[in-house]
Amino acid sequence: MVASARHTIETVTIPAGSFRMGDARGVGNPGDGETPVHEVYLDAFEIDATSVTNEQFARFVDDTGYRTEAEEFGYSAVFHLARTAPDDDVLGQPPQTPWWLGVRGADWRHPGGAGSTLEGVADHPVVHVTWNDAQAYCAWAGRRLPTEAEWEYAARGGLDGASYPWGDEAPDTDGTWRCNIWQGVFPSSNTLADGWLTTAPVRSFAPNDYGLWQTVGNVWEWCQDWFAADYYARSPREAPQGPDSGTVRLLRGGSFLCHDSYCNRYRTSARSSNTPDSSMSNAGFRTVAVTS
């Protein structure tokens, strides 16, 4: 089903029901707040089958003239092996995460910085979009970002308590990769066993049993909620909306950079966060329908 004349991403309806939200396997980082596992009930809702693509985001920009925050700031965070810009365009390199570079001119149209374009990646997820940018898109499309609970419920595809959208098997069981994550030695050498160094087309691999594609790996996806590590201990059972306030917004799903040597957040219950004005080459979003 297509949502509207503006928002042409295919959508699916998720049935009403209850599920156990959180890390049922006990493998998450305690600081991420994936526990306690708690029961959540949600009414039925409509969500995008895929992340919003470059092609779809371009429709929004062409219609509105919107400039993303990366374009306004003049730079964004680029994974070092994806940089196409010259050395002079590197504005910074965090010592704690040296695989990230602040690159002048990197934005959604130029994901690697100068010298990069969207040629050949129209069906890849849009990246270098902040939470604020995603909100602007939603306002134009008449939609909204999913709550964290909606995101996890839909991402599970009906597999309550499973580690991944396909079950508990490792992503490369039987030699077949089920998601776009890092293979090799992070962050210097990627064997490309899954076929991709950075983003993959949104309909790569296989959808979950609800029909959602790539809810783990590929790109992190912004959610509506503020983040708090202790929220699950006080979350209401019905339709939780997250904390009333905060400093960082939730991201879900992991990305093409996830690797067990430093980050196992390509699990369905995994959580991350960033400031709402942060943009990077491994984060995008999907949307849900606004209901009365």
Condensed to tens digits (0 to 9), the pLDDT of residues 136-154 reads: 999 999 999 999 999 999 9
Question: Based on the number of CB atoms within 10 Å of its own CB, is 156 exposed (0-12), middle (13-18) or buried (19 or more)?
Answer: buried
Q: Give all strands of the β-sheet with 271-274 in edge-to-edge order.
A: 271-274, 249-252, 220-226, 283-284
Instruction: Sort strands 220-226 and 283-284 into parallel, antiparallel or unpaired.
Output: parallel
Phi, psi dihedral angles at 75 (to 5 degrees) = -160, 165
* pLDDT tens digits in sequence order for the chain, 292 residues long: 776 789 999 999 999 999 999 999 999 988 999 999 999 999 999 999 999 999 999 999 999 999 999 999 999 999 999 999 999 999 999 999 999 999 999 999 999 999 999 999 999 999 999 999 999 999 999 999 999 999 999 999 999 999 999 999 999 988 889 999 999 999 999 999 999 999 999 999 999 999 999 999 999 999 999 999 999 999 999 999 999 999 999 999 999 999 988 888 999 999 999 999 999 999 999 999 998 6
Contact 248, 226 (CB under 8 A): yes
Question: What's at 258, amino acid-wise?
Answer: C
The pLDDT value recorded for residue 261 is 87
The pLDDT value recorded for residue 116 is 98
pTM score? 0.97
Question: Can you read off the two tokens belonging to residue 91?
Answer: 């504005």
SS3 label, residue 207 = coil
Spatial neighbors of 240 by CB under 8 A, at least 6 apart, are 40, 147, 148, 149, 231
In words, the CATH class of domain 11-289 is alpha beta
Cα–Cα distance for residue pair 138/167, rounded to 1 Å: 31
Question: What's at 94, amino acid-wise?
Answer: P
The pLDDT value recorded for residue 13 is 98
Question: Can you read off the two tokens belonging to residue 263?
Answer: 């980050």
Cα 129 to Cα 41, 80, 157, 259, distances in angstroms: 30, 18, 26, 23
Cα–Cα distance for residue pair 229/7, rounded to 1 Å: 33
Contact 108, 54 (CB under 8 A): yes
Contact 75, 106 (CB under 8 A): yes
Domain ranges of the chain: 11-289
